[in-house]
Structure 1
Amino acid sequence: MRPAPGYPACPEHPLKQDIISLLGGPETTGITLTENHAMIPPASVCGFYFARPEACYFGVGNTD
């Protein structure tokens, strides 16, 4: 499960600041935020990642 701030499952963009702070801030992540919470560099991603050893990727089949 990978909810990310700014998407429908987690629409609050300001949460990006909390995530970056928990990871040590711009000094350790290299990520800064604009006043509108856009991430710099633009290819940056952040989110809440939940995993467990039994987790696996799977296909959902044909979706037409």
Structure 2
Amino acid sequence: MADATTRERSVVDRIAAALDRAEAAVLTLAADRDRAVARATAALTAGDRAVAALDALVAGGQ
């Protein structure tokens, strides 16, 4: 009976370790996503500023 309990604990430990690795992977992906969103937001903001500058140039030339 002790051997079965030891094996069961070993299986549970391996499952727990796999879940920990999966959680770490998900957290890494979430952080990567957050950085990508921040970069995209910065690019959109820069684009908006460029459009505003062009609009000002066009308005000034008329």
Fold-level similarity (TM above 0.5): no
Q: What TM-score do you get using the length of structure 2 for normalisation?
A: 0.19
Structure with more helix by fraction: 2
Higher strand share: 1
TM-score of the two chains, using structure 1 as the length reference: 0.18
